[in-house]
Amino acid sequence: MALPPHLLARLVAEALHEDLGPGDLTTRSIVPEGMEGAAVIRTRAPVVVAGAGIAILVFRRLDPELVVCARAEEGASLPAGASVLELRGRARALLSGERTALNLLGRLSGIATLTRRFIEAAAPHRPEISDTRKTTPTLRVVEKYAVAAAGGVNHRFGLWDAILIKDNHVDLAGGVRQAIERARAGAEGMQVEVEVRDLRELREALQAGADAVLLDNFPPASLAEAVNLARGKAKLEVSGGVTLETIPSIAALGVDRISIGALTHSAASADLTMRITTCRT
């Protein structure tokens, strides 16, 4: 998944402005303007890396001549104590960009790390492990990027790029069949996915020709029957309260996709540290 450069530039600019405002008072007071520095960003715990390129953009916005050595590819699994980035440039830029860079790199690497854990827990059945729209406002693109970097699958990016009929749509339309028929008429040629709440709605969705069905918060006892009903008729997605403990049994049923909001709304930031020293001439 490629990240649009103009969106990254805007994100980095806004993030730095939030932290720096009119200037870094502490660094300006203590660090001489011409001092050169070297920095290393390391892991403090095992991590799957995502967002190193964004961290580099943070520092390069403050020092366009920054020299960077990336020690890990995006999506790589690193042990504790591993080097992620090595940087050399203006010491003021390294200090002023440190927290913004670590916040972004830590956030995205935390999402990637949790995504990889879910993927591994679902093996060997290999359903798609997908994100949702439960993302941090204005950070959706980069958070979904982190999911993809770890091997996950991006669900729709917004309300504009896919049809997913939710329970409120069904209620307002007067039923599952009516909602599907209206969606097909209103967005001809698009795949139609519908969320169902029980086996009765599932049967109605299949009869109406839904391309995919989302089983949201389905009782575990009903999941196996739902899989048997939908097999060969529609793709089946499971969502709602999926945990690392429950995903192995869900994946074993043979569902096509498991979507997990926790990938982006509950991932802990990766534990990273950055040490800066003066450069020897």
| CATH (one of 3.40.50.920, 3.90.1170.20, 3.50.40.10, 3.10.20.600) for 5-118+268-278 | 3.90.1170.20
SS3 breakdown of the chain: % helix, strand, coil, rounded to 5? Answer: 45, 20, 35
More confident residue, 196 or 2: 196
Q: How far is CA 143 from CA 31, 149, 177, 265, in A?
A: 34, 10, 34, 10
Cβ(78)–Cβ(116) under 8 Å?
no
Positions marked active-site = 99, 134, 166, 195, 216
Are 5-118+268-278 and 125-265 equal in CATH topology?
no
Task: Decide if pLDDT at 128 tops 70.
Answer: yes
Q: What is the pTM of this model?
A: 0.95
List the one residue out of 142, 109, 115 whose CA is nearest residue 131.
115
Q: What are the boundaries of each domain within the chain?
A: 5-118+268-278, 125-265
Q: How far is CA 25 from CA 21, 59, 62, in A?
A: 10, 18, 15
Backbone angles phi, psi at 89, to 5 degrees: 175, -155
* H-only helix segments in 124-241: 140-149, 167-173, 176-186, 199-207, 220-230
Q: Element (H or E) spanning 77, and its range?
A: strand 77-78
As a whole number, mean pLDDT of residues 78-85 equals 98
What local confidence, expressed as pLDDT, does residue 198 receive?
94
- State pLDDT tens for residues 173-200: 999 999 999 999 998 889 999 999 999 9
Q: What single-letter amino acid sits at 113? A: T
List the one residue out of 262, 259, 207, 260 whose CA is nearest residue 236.
259
What local confidence, expressed as pLDDT, does residue 242 receive?
95
As a whole number, mean pLDDT of residues 11-26 equals 97
Task: Decide if pLDDT at 280 tops 70.
Answer: no
More confident residue, 91 or 231: 91
Share of the chain above pLDDT 70, in %: 99
- Residue 246: which pLDDT band, with cuts at 50, 70 and 90? very high
**What would you report as the CA-atom Rg of the chain, rounded to the nearest whole angstrom?**
23
Topology adopted by domain 125-265:
TIM Barrel (3.20.20)
Average pLDDT, the chain: 95
